[in-house]
């Protein structure tokens, strides 16, 4: 009888230990998911900050280089498209939505690059104080975008790994069956460093 009681106590102890270990990881998936969503909000905020700078940038360039109509128009159109494509946190598991967002932002980055290249042909524009102020703001914003993208990618990788490995995979299957891996940004040439923005001589 004593041996049976001992075995029963051992089994109960193992069972309770198993519950404790499982409980330790119970909140990991929703916690990581919320962290990824917060990092995505940072990405969106920084892209919006860039979009908000563009009208002043275009207006300033237009004052000195009206003949560069094609370049100015391409920036305006790319900005319009980039601000129209929204991806909320619930759509981060949709590869097509995230790709559309990234493609639109990449198109805007390219249009801005062409505008910056054109500015080199106008010394008066490059020395304009408003233009120089915009340069500083745009440089800072591009750096923030790069950091926000990196932080989002790293956070999503941790979340996705948790969903695909044990015990996270088991916990997700039992308690969070709706949890799906999130999409990150596809690598693009030069994406590891922010675009160079240099309006100075």
In a domain, 63, yes or no: yes
Q: What is the pTM of this model?
A: 0.80
In a domain, 103, yes or no: yes
Beta carbons of 61 and 119 less than 8 angstroms apart: yes
Other CB atoms within 10 A of residue 138 CB: 20
In a domain, 124, yes or no: yes
In a domain, 148, yes or no: yes
The CATH number of whichever domain residue 103 belongs to comes to 1.20.1440.20
What string of pLDDT tens digits covers the 201 residues of the chain? 555 666 767 666 555 555 554 555 789 999 999 999 999 999 999 999 999 999 999 999 999 988 899 999 999 999 999 999 999 999 999 999 999 999 999 999 999 999 988 888 999 998 899 998 998 899 999 999 999 999 999 999 999 999 999 999 999 999 999 999 999 987 654 444 444 444 333
Other CB atoms within 10 A of residue 74 CB: 18
Beta carbons of 151 and 28 less than 8 angstroms apart: no
The pLDDT tens digits of the residues spanning 104-139 come to 999 999 999 999 888 889 999 988 999 989 988 999
In a domain, 189, yes or no: no
In a domain, 7, yes or no: no
Residue 77, C-beta contacts closer than 8 angstroms, at least 6 positions apart? 111
In a domain, 181, yes or no: no
In a domain, 92, yes or no: yes
Q: Domain residues for 161?
A: 30-175
Tally the domains of the chain: 1
């Amino acid at each position: 009888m004593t041996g049976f009681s001992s075995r029963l106590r051992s089994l109960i102890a193992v069972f309770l230990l198993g519950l404790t270990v499982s409980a330790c990881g119970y909140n990991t998936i929703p916690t990581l998911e919320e962290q990824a969503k917060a990092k995505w909000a940072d990405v969106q905020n920084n892209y919006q900050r860039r979009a908000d700078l563009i009208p002043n940038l275009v207006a300033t360039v237009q004052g000195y280089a009206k003949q560069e109509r094609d370049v100015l128009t391409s920036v305006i159109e790319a900005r319009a498209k980039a601000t129209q494509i929204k991806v909320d946190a619930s759509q981060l598991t949709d590869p097509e939505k995230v790709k559309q967002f990234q493609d639109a932002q990449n198109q805007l980055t390219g249009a801005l690059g062409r505008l910056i290249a054109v500015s080199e042909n106008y010394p008066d524009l490059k020395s304009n104080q408003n233009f120089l102020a915009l340069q500083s703001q745009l440089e800072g914003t591009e750096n923030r975008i790069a950091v926000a993208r990196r932080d989002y990618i790293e956070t999503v990788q941790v979340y996705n790994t948790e969903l695909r490995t044990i015990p996270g995979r088991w916990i997700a299957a039992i308690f969070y069956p709706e949890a799906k891996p999130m999409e990150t940004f596809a690598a693009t040439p030069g994406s590891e460093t922010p675009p160079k923005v240099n309006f100075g001589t």
